Structures are given as C-alpha cells and as structure tokens.
Amino acid sequence: MSSPVERDIVSLGAPAAHAGPAALPSDRWWQRLLRQPWACAGVVIVLVAVLVSLAAPWLAPYDPTTGVGGDKLLPIGSDGHLLGTDDIGRDVLSRLIWGGRTSLLVGFLPVVIATVLATVLGLVAGYAPELVSGILMRVVDILFAFPTVLFAIAFAALYGPGLWPVVLTIILAAVPYLTRVIYSEVKAERGKEYVEASRALGASGAAVLFREILPNVSAPIIVYATTWAGGMIVFAASLSAVGIGVQPPTADWGRMVADGAKLFALGAPQLSLLPGLIITLVATALNWVGDGLRDALDPYHS
C-alpha cells in the first residue's frame, strides 16, 4: 500500500487529477457565475459601459468638447438633446458616452498593471528565503505609509494634471495592497503537500511558483483586482473632480460631476447627478462581479 507522499507524487504526474485546491467541481466556474443573478447583472452593466464607450464615435450625437450654438442649460428631454446641455451648450449625452472612455481606462488599465506587478512581487516574497522576503515586504510597507493623495499631488506637480498622473497614482496605490494579499496566499500554499511533491519530483523554484502555486492563488487575485477596479473608478473620478485628474474640455465622468455641482443653484442638478449615478452604478457592478467570482472560483463552494 502506497504512502501519502507517494500518492501525492503520482497524482502530480496525472494531468486529469491536478493536485492542489485549484481543482474545481464538475461544473464550470462560469456556470456558477451564471447562477448568481447579481453577478450576471454586474457583468451586463460593465459590458454595456465598455461597449458604449468603445462605440462613442458612432453613438455620440455631438462633439463632446464643443458647444452647440446658444443652446445652454437645456433640460432633459429637449429637442435634439435627450439629456440636455451643460452651461456652455455641450450635449450631456455625448459627454457621458465619451466620458466612459477615460473613466473606464483609469479604472482598468492601472489595476491590470498593478496586478501584474503585485503578482510577481507577492509570489517571489512569499516563496523566497526569509531575507529576500523581508526586504521586499518592507519596501511594500513603506508604500503603505504614504497617503495616496500625496502621490497624486506629486505626479500632478511633476507632469501636470491629466490622465497619466492618475494612472501612476492608482498603480502605486494598488500594488502594496495586492502584494500583501498575494503574499499571504503564497505563504499559506507553499507548505502544502502538492508543493512538496512537486519539489520532490525535481521542479525548479520558478516551475513550482508559476505552474503549481500561481494557479491555486489566482482566484483571490482576480476577485481582489476586480473589486479594486470599481474603487479606482470612484477614486479617479474624485481626483478629476478636485482638478488633479483629467482636464477640460476632455469628457470625463468625474470632471462632469465637479463642473455640474457648480450649477445646482441654476436649476441643473442633472449635470452632476447623471455622471455621479453612472460612476456609482459601474463601481457597484464591478463589486457584484467580484463577489460572484469569489463564489464561482471557490473550489469548495456548494
């Protein structure tokens, strides 16, 4: 009768029964996701927002940066302007459609970059010897010590306010948090039997990290990154609202909220409420997707 270690080694050589907790039950993860109505609603909302933003040149009825004659502060439902116009005559619907491009870009692009960087750092720190691990995590702790807004102000001072200072700020804000999560997951996995069995078969450290450990920690990485994307859309909008982020006349949801807030007294609350509602809806939808993925990717989810 074979020992537990021998059975682990044999199971590593069998592709149909990959060792480790990443193996899912018979149903696919996407089937689990589809059984969750809120997660499905979140996926639909995010996809619609992305597709509408990508199709902005064809969907937007007007140029989002140019006023239309003297049609200023037209109310919702005005002839030729479904959602009215702003204080300089720009079509609100066109600006909302084009604004999704910048708002979604600063929500997704920096989080993707930060996730890749944090994954490499977290894997190395979680698997490396204590000296290397300690040095890497102390650097991460230093990043924790700086308020995110200070990064935004520093980049805006160096490069001027705009899109890329926001992107760099979000990357620096997300990397330490994501690295800490991945580091903890790798530390929990590195001592498990399937890792020891892989080492016993002569696998290199890189092979153990990327072929064995990474697939088994990918679920929390995906879930956490998805949740961060929603939060970063709100954060980027707040930077634009205070003048650090995207600058006029570029259409951006956060900038629209800030500009519209000044016009409440003129009886045009929709100028800030509409982009604010869209930001809230998209960020909430991403959180729904993250919650759904957490359950769908959980191998022990019933």
In contact, 209 and 223? CB cutoff 8 Å:
no
Show the domains of the chain with their CATH numbers: 25-59+91-296 (1.10.3720.10)
d(C-alpha 302, C-alpha 250), whole Å: 47
What's the confidence (pLDDT) of residue 21? 42
Q: Which pTM value belongs to this model? A: 0.80
pLDDT tops 50 at residue 36: yes
pLDDT, one tens digit per residue, over 73-111 is 888 988 888 998 888 889 999 999 999 998 898 888 999
d(C-alpha 228, C-alpha 162), whole Å: 21
What's the confidence (pLDDT) of residue 265? 67
Environment class of residue 161 by beta-carbon count within 10 Å: exposed (0-12), middle (13-18) or buried (19+)? buried
Confidence of residue 150 (pLDDT cuts 50, 70, 90): confident
Q: What share of the chain is helix, strand, coil (3-state, %, to 5)?
A: 70, 0, 25
